[in-house]
Structure 1
């Protein structure tokens, strides 16, 4: 059975390289369409004409575009595989929360990409072993965060921090909801006996406790 793919990566060379490798090693996985960015008008009707079922999402212009891109592809009815430029366990959790089925670092090689695509085509999740191992041994947190809170904290206070507006857009929520989540996280620390008076101290504590990068 042939699985037809749409590949999105800002580098055309990556699209062509993946296409060539699949043609030689996995001819039942066919790259039907390639784009350097997610099309602005991505509708199920248009995809039906291409018979595309899986989207492989690679490098985008900005990291902040990753979660919205995953959501857009999922909403269009596609099963999404994310090919990461570099291994990042926070991105791995974020894209899976957004609906992606698979996450693979590009450096892992095309064999792992193939396994991820096959898993996604079957509706199964695939997380590269190195990514899964990266979640082990994390510093024990003093407070508990839900996956959604963890994503929000990483987007707002992590190494590639966004504004409140940017976090709201990335997560599809209001700015007020972002602020409410941050307030609850700060309150949770206060209950644990740790008073955090500003954003800098909150960022430092979340980093110490292993919640953000």
Structure 2
């Protein structure tokens, strides 16, 4: 399975990668940090089995970006993963041809099941958005949702734990983290345990997903 992940927040992309690897161990992933990079990846005529797209990235407006990506890859299932969990955006992106709209605050198991459904040819919009009134497009773009999510994690983790968290997101083993940070493996294990406890995560994968804004209490 070949997947394009387009999101301007690197930690979130790493969380997506871990989740996709649990769905398909042989997944091949291409990453883009903005709409320009996403369009370049698609202009190469590469065929992706799935495209995961954030709404707010540099280069294009939210809905305009979805339309453009849809035009470049009409045959690839397009899924919007966004912190803008509003019925307005869900409706507009689905009208543009998206196969799914998933809030980043969704539980990882919900996201995984939604992606499996979409890969099987279905579509997905959370029932919670179907039953809520739309508030329309957000006018305040002075601050990106990913920045708030990242700072929320920084508030519960120490600077050293954040260092460990970044390496966890890259898929490093305890030994790899220890070597990179000049720590013993025992110390790394202590930091990892503290991270899991602070984020109320069951395992390393869920910790990265929570840190990247894909989980909520």
TM-score (norm 1): 0.55
Query: How far apart are residue 67 of structure 1 and its match?
Result: 1.0
- 2:35–2:65 CA contact under 8 A, matched in 1: yes
- 2:17–2:29 CA contact under 8 A, matched in 1: no
Mark the CA change 1:43 to 1:84 in structure 2 (over 3 Å): closer, same or farther: closer
Q: Which has the higher contact order (CA 8 A, sep 6+)?
A: 2
Hey, what's the Cα distance between the residues in 1 that align with 2:9 and 2:35? 13
- 2:6–2:33 CA contact under 8 A, matched in 1: yes
Q: Please name the residue that 1:132 is paired with.
A: 130
Q: Please name the residue that 1:26 is paired with.
A: 23
Q: Please name the residue that 1:160 is paired with.
A: 139
Query: How far apart are residue 19 of structure 1 and its match?
Result: 0.7
| Residues 1:123 and 2:121 aligned together | yes
Aligned ranges 1:91-130 → 2 under 5 Å: 91-130=89-128
Unaligned runs of 5+ in 2: 141-217
What's the secondary structure of 1:115's corresponding residue?
Answer: helix
- 1:6–1:34 CA contact under 8 A, matched in 2: yes
Aligned length: 138
TM-score (norm 2): 0.54
Unaligned runs of 5+ in 1: 139-152, 162-213
| Residues 1:36 and 2:33 aligned together | yes
- 2:35–2:58 CA contact under 8 A, matched in 1: no
What's the secondary structure of 1:126's corresponding residue?
Answer: coil
